[in-house]
Amino acid sequence: MNWVVCDSDWEAEFCRVAEARPRVRAYVKNQNLGLEVPYLMGSTQRKYLPDFVVQVDDGQEDLLNLIVEIKGYRGEDAKDKANTMRTYWVPGVNNLGGYGRWAFAEFKEIYEIETDFAQVVEAQFKAVMDTHVK
């Protein structure tokens, strides 16, 4: 991918950071891809559209699909979305199998995206190494 239409400077900064990480193999803005996650806000059902899907080489045979949310203002709905992703969607899709491996990361500070993203990617790599290298 070499062109991304970004909705904000924050998303543009994330793209710059993703391009610079050697473990990132591909990324795409989740625009018209059909990736929607249902969640509840109170008793109202809504749909969450994550910002990006990033394929990361974390040392496994298959690439890790990392769902990335870039969030400047974080209202109550953002908390519900992140909780749904961490508690239900990621464990559920990983348990189903057949759709690859998935993880979720949310970035809230534009000036820390580079450091935070590097930490997420390296933590995924370290988890694989800790599991497979004894």
Q: Where are the domains of the chain?
A: 9-132
Q: Does the structural domain 9-132 have CATH classification 3.40.1350?
A: yes
Q: What is the DSSP letter of 89?
A: I
Q: Looking at residue 44, what is its pLDDT? A: 92
The pairing of strands 24-29 and 52-56 is antiparallel
Say how far apart CA 19 and CA 26 lie, in whole Å.
8
Task: State the pLDDT confidence band at 75, using cuts at 50, 70 and 90.
Answer: confident
Q: What percent of the chain has pLDDT over 70?
A: 93
pLDDT(76) > 90? no
Residues whose CB is less than 8 angstroms from the CB of residue 106 and which lie 6 or more positions away in sequence, other chains included: 68, 69, 71, 78, 82
pLDDT(2) > 90? no
pLDDT digits (tens, 9 = 90+) for 119-130: 888 888 777 777
pLDDT(21) > 80? yes
Q: What is the pTM of this model?
A: 0.88
